[in-house]
Amino acid sequence: MSARVLVVEDEEALTLLLRYNLEAEGYEVDCVARGDEAELRILEQAPDLAILDWMLPGLSGIELCRRIRAREATRALPIIMLTARGEEGDRVRGLATGADDYVVKPFSLPEFVARVQALLRRSRPSLLATTLAAGDIELDRESRRVRRAGQELHLGPTEFRLLEFLMQSPGRVFTREQLLDNVWGRNVYIDERTVDVHVGRLRKALNVQDGHDPIRTVRGAGYSFEEQEPARA
């Protein structure tokens, strides 16, 4: 599963260039030209990284950055700020609002892509890792293989993506809707009970031995991946 990058930029030519170059690196890219629209998009579904232009119609990049940082759910969202101005004062102001990195236009695209990669590596190492491991479970993204205690497990493609997504954020509870959006795709309209069916299959495939069930059902909320067996009371 690739990282999702949201580009918030009102210069169409630059947006196209960024989209092209980031997609070439395997990122899923979403572009928005207005700050207020970007805020709604982020509330709806937070990306893995946001690129914010400083001057935007609707809501400035600075204000958007401030609001993202003020909200509990998006506080840690990695942000790169773009600006046409290069003055030191602005640079400091950009970082003071909470952006993780700051790039002055015009910039070299290979360098920019490298910065995106570096920031993602720092903030979400699991997104770029080839192998995800938790407890006795190991998932290899390249060969698309899953092993438990060294034994190979056979998962269907949906179960594989579901496990991959859950293993990226151990301990975090995802609603069925979030799982549908992230594993099946945002524009797919299927019943939320489909999630339960696939979680059931994933559990069955994972729990071949006596190991603990790593998929936790949170009543009224959804599912999470737990690395450790919870302590018994």
Pairing of strands 145-148, 137-140: antiparallel
Residue 36 or 196 with smaller CB distance to Ca ion = 36
Q: Is 87 exposed, middle or buried (0-12, 13-18, 19+ CB in 10 A)?
A: exposed
Which member of 14, 17, 55, 129 binds Ca ion (CB under 5 A)? 55
* 94 CB neighbour count, 10 Å cutoff: 25
Please answer whether residues 98 and 65 qualify as being in contact, where contact means their C-beta atoms are separated by less than 8 angstroms. yes
- Beta bridge partners of residue 95, listed in sequence order: none
For Ca ion, the nearest residue by Cβ is: 55
The CA distance from 109 to 220, in Å, is: 45
* 107 CB neighbour count, 10 Å cutoff: 12
Least distance in Å: CB of 68 to Ca ion?
Answer: 18
Residue 53 or 164 with smaller CB distance to Ca ion = 53
Least distance in Å: CB of 31 to Ca ion?
Answer: 13
What is the DSSP code (8-state) at residue 140? E
Tell me which residue of 181, 171, 161, 183 sits closest to 218, measured CA to CA: 171
Which listed range, 55-63, 121-129, 171-179, 218-226, lies at the site for Ca ion (CB under 5 A)? 55-63
Site string for Ca ion, 6-35 (x = CB under 5 A): ----x-------------------------
The CA distance from 214 to 29, in Å, is: 31
Size of the residue set binding Ca ion (CB under 5 A): 3
Residue 55 or 59 with smaller CB distance to Ca ion = 55
Residues 6+ apart with CB under 8 A from 194: 180, 184
Site string for Ca ion, 65-84 (x = CB under 5 A): --------------------
E strands, 21-78, in order? 28-32, 49-53
Residue type, 113: V
Residue 109 or 133 with smaller CB distance to Ca ion = 109
Residue 1 or 55 with smaller CB distance to Ca ion = 55
Least distance in Å: CB of 32 to Ca ion?
Answer: 12
Residue 10 or 30 with smaller CB distance to Ca ion = 10
Residue 55 or 134 with smaller CB distance to Ca ion = 55
Which member of 39, 53, 159, 164 binds Ca ion (CB under 5 A)? 53
**Residues in the site for Ca ion, rule: CB under 5 A?**
10, 53, 55
